[in-house]
Structure 1
Amino acid sequence: MANIKKGDLVQVISGPTPERGGDRGKQGTVLEVLTEQDRVIVEGVNYVTKHVRVGQTQRGTKTGGLETIEAPIHISNVQLVDPETKKPTRVGHRVEEQVKDGVKRTVRVRYAKKSGKDL
């Protein structure tokens, strides 16, 4: 079971600080998980400039130029944020029984472990 999924709130835990032009400490939601490359795309983190070739649409407007988009970041450089304390935390799994339409199922559920200095 994956620790980080699409829509999770994560924080960048490595790299240069914002004072040095980096993204460490920034929080954002996961837009996409690239499982084959072990990377995630986080909203507002790791912006890169992409050069797009100039073209024309059906209406005749010009497209292209410079675009800034979010680039993938390695999954080991981000950590899930605890919804209660808003600090990065480790993720645990527990097995629970779920009853749906009268049928019992065993399901693995993610939960945030203790975070911050209160360990």
Structure 2
Amino acid sequence: MANIKKGDMVVVIAGKGKGEKGRVLEVLKDSDRVIVEGIRRVTKHVKPGQTARGVRTGGIETIEAPIHISNVQYYDEKAKRAKRLGSRLEEVQRDGRTRVTRVRVTRGHGDEERDV
């Protein structure tokens, strides 16, 4: 199961883009990959066509390609470094009921845990 979610800031820890940071645009759970904004950009040739209004489409586009989720790590902007993620169970009272919810937290190098 992946701890990385859409919208998280991540840093690439392995491969050609090592050290680069970006936001997660999409998580592809079936293939264990993520698409990160501005990382691993590839050119794609799109077949020319026309829309209903007559505007021509197609040509050469630059898009982000997926990266395996094991090659990225959550980037904690407060601590200014990559961190591991974990979860903690918390009791929350709503409408007179006590429920247990799972909260994502950063794991630490001696730091206190932070809610993500």
TM-score for the superposition, normalised by structure 2: 0.87
**More strand by percentage:** 2
Partner of 1:113: 107
Partner of 1:14: 14
3-state SS of the aligned residue for 1:44? coil
Selected match of 2:85 from 85, 91, 94: 91
- Matched positions, count: 111
Aligned-partner Cα distance in 1 for 2:87–2:54: 54
Aligned-partner Cα distance in 1 for 2:86–2:77: 14
Question: For residues 79-102 of structure 1, what are the alpha-carbon distances to aligned partners after superposition, in whole Å with 9 as ceiling and x for unaligned?
Answer: 001131121111121111111222
Q: CA RMSD in A?
A: 1.6
Selected match of 1:45 from 39, 42, 65: 39
Partner of 1:61: 55
Which runs of 4 or more aligned residues in structure 1 lie more than 6 Å from their structure 2 counterparts after TM superposition? none
Partner of 2:70: 76
**Does residue 1:3 correspond to 2:3, yes or no?**
yes
Aligned-partner Cα distance in 2 for 1:12–1:97: 34
Aligned-partner Cα distance in 1 for 2:44–2:57: 13
Using the TM superposition, name which of 85-94 and 63-72 deviates more. Answer: 85-94
**Does residue 1:103 correspond to 2:97, yes or no?**
yes
Identity of aligned residues (%): 59
TM-score for the superposition, normalised by structure 1: 0.85
Structure 2, unmatched stretches of 5+, are: 112-116
How do 1:21-40 and structure 2 match up within 5 A?
23-40=17-34
